[in-house]
Amino acid sequence: MIVTTKKLFEAAYGKYAIGAYNINNLEQTMGLFRGNLDSQAPFIIQISKGARSYTHKIMLEGLIRSADMVFPEAIFAVHLDHGDEETCYDCINSGFYSSVMIDASHEDFETNIAITKRVVEAAHAKGIVVEAELGQLGGVEEHVKVDEANAKLTNPDQAREFVERTGCDSLAVAIGTSHGAFKFTGDQGIRFDVLAQIQQKLPGFPLVMHGSSSVPQEEVERINKAGGKLSGAKGVDENQFAQAAKLGVTKVNIDTDGRLVWTRVHREYFLEHPENFDLRPIGKVFMAEYAKFIAHKNEKLGSAGQLEAVRKLLG
Ligand code: G3H
Ligand code: 13P
Ligand code: ZN
């Protein structure tokens, strides 16, 4: 069942976070639904602009609508990840997405507010919720001075003003994480001090943590052993998701870790089965491994086991 993130966030706020997972193809879709049902978790499917044009946006919509029929117990939101204004309108008018993200975080404060406000008005008119972003995610290098790093993080005072003036439903905040497999060069991590300040200014308001892949070292080692070259890859400590959830993070975005599962499975499989040229055996291994990965993340997020409670809340 496709729902907006509003009810999911109501159920989760302050207690656990909902996993937001990016998908691109059939195998990911199957693994995603299986993993969430295995762990009895509500979830968010994220579709990026790149995913929409990988095959065709209608193809992804068809996959998800089919999965909804194959797995009728699933409760999930369909969300545009990092949308620009034009793509947001396309999704709002599609009748398929229940949530969009307008990412105008690269613009100055006032322009970000103006763009976000326009998208919020269009989305709310159709019952669709909006995630916006303030601050800039980036790789945290050890040589970067604290002042310089802080400048890109979300300013807690501005966060409150931004939410009040735009009317957005959730806010992606920059709290030290970044996208991709190379997030940290030293022992940096989530800036809980900044997150706590943001929550103080926006009590009860759902916050979103992007760049939340943990880049498991065991996964990286297996990929490298099977011919990959990912040395130095490092991510967020997944054991800190619970602490972030207590501080108002209700949505945790994970994409890179899923790509690592795909890479490890395929590299190892073809190394061990050099004679194989059939796509189904490996596809089956991937779907099972992807489902296991999703269920594991949901345990760390605390969303595992929450499906029935959310169903009751939805009435
Ligand atoms: O934040 C970006 C997501 O990881 C999606 O990546 O734009 O390559 O699909 P993508
Ligand atoms: P990762 O690259 O850490 O998986 O982050 C994904 C993300 O933030 C998607 O919006
Ligand atoms: Zn992101």
* Owning domain of residue 246: 5-314
| Cα-to-centroid distance, 255 and ligand 3 (Å) | 8
Domain CATH number, residue 184: 3.20.20.70
Q: Find all residues with CB under 8 Å of 37, minimum gap 6, and list them.
A: 71, 73, 74, 307
Ligand 1 neighbourhood includes 82 CB (under 6 angstroms): yes
What pLDDT is recorded for position 140? 52
3-state helix vs strand vs coil in the chain, percent to 5: 50, 15, 35
pTM of the complete model: 0.96
Ligand 1 neighbourhood includes 178 CB (under 6 angstroms): no
CA nearest neighbour of 8 among 164, 170, 243: 170
Catalytic residues: 81
Query: For 244, how many CA atoms within 13 A lie in the half-sphere containing its CB?
Result: 32
Contact indicator for 235, 181 with CB cutoff of 8 Å: yes
Ligand 1 neighbourhood includes 50 CB (under 6 angstroms): yes
Indicate which ligand has the atom closest to the C-alpha of 133.
3
Instruction: Report which ligand 1 atom has the smallest distance to the Cα of 54.
Output: 9
| Cα-to-centroid distance, 275 and ligand 3 (Å) | 38
Which of 82, 105, 213 gets mutated to test ligand 2 (max ligand atoms within 8 A of its CB)?
Answer: 213
**Atom 4 in ligand 1: which residue has the minimum CA distance?**
255
Instruction: Report which ligand 1 atom has the smallest distance to the Cα of 179.
Output: 1
| Cα-to-centroid distance, 48 and ligand 1 (Å) | 6
| Cα-to-centroid distance, 103 and ligand 1 (Å) | 13
What per-residue string of b and e applies to 223-237 under the rule 16 or more CB within 10 Å gives b? beebebeeeebbbbe
| Domain count across the chain | 1
Ligand 1 neighbourhood includes 183 CB (under 6 angstroms): no
What pLDDT is recorded for position 149? 66
Ligand 1 neighbourhood includes 36 CB (under 6 angstroms): no
pLDDT in tens, the chain (315 residues): 999 999 999 999 999 999 999 999 999 999 999 999 999 999 999 999 999 999 999 999 999 999 999 999 999 999 999 999 999 999 999 999 999 999 999 999 999 999 999 999 999 999 999 999 999 987 555 555 555 567 689 999 999 999 999 999 999 999 999 999 999 888 889 999 999 999 999 999 999 999 999 999 999 999 999 999 998 889 999 999 999 999 999 999 999 999 999 999 999 999 999 999 999 999 999 999 999 999 999 999 999 999 999 999 998
Indicate which ligand has the atom closest to the C-alpha of 20.
2
Ligand 1 neighbourhood includes 259 CB (under 6 angstroms): no
Instruction: Report which ligand 2 atom has the smallest distance to the Cα of 137.
Output: 8
**Atom 1 in ligand 2: which residue has the minimum CA distance?**
211
240 DSSP assignment: G
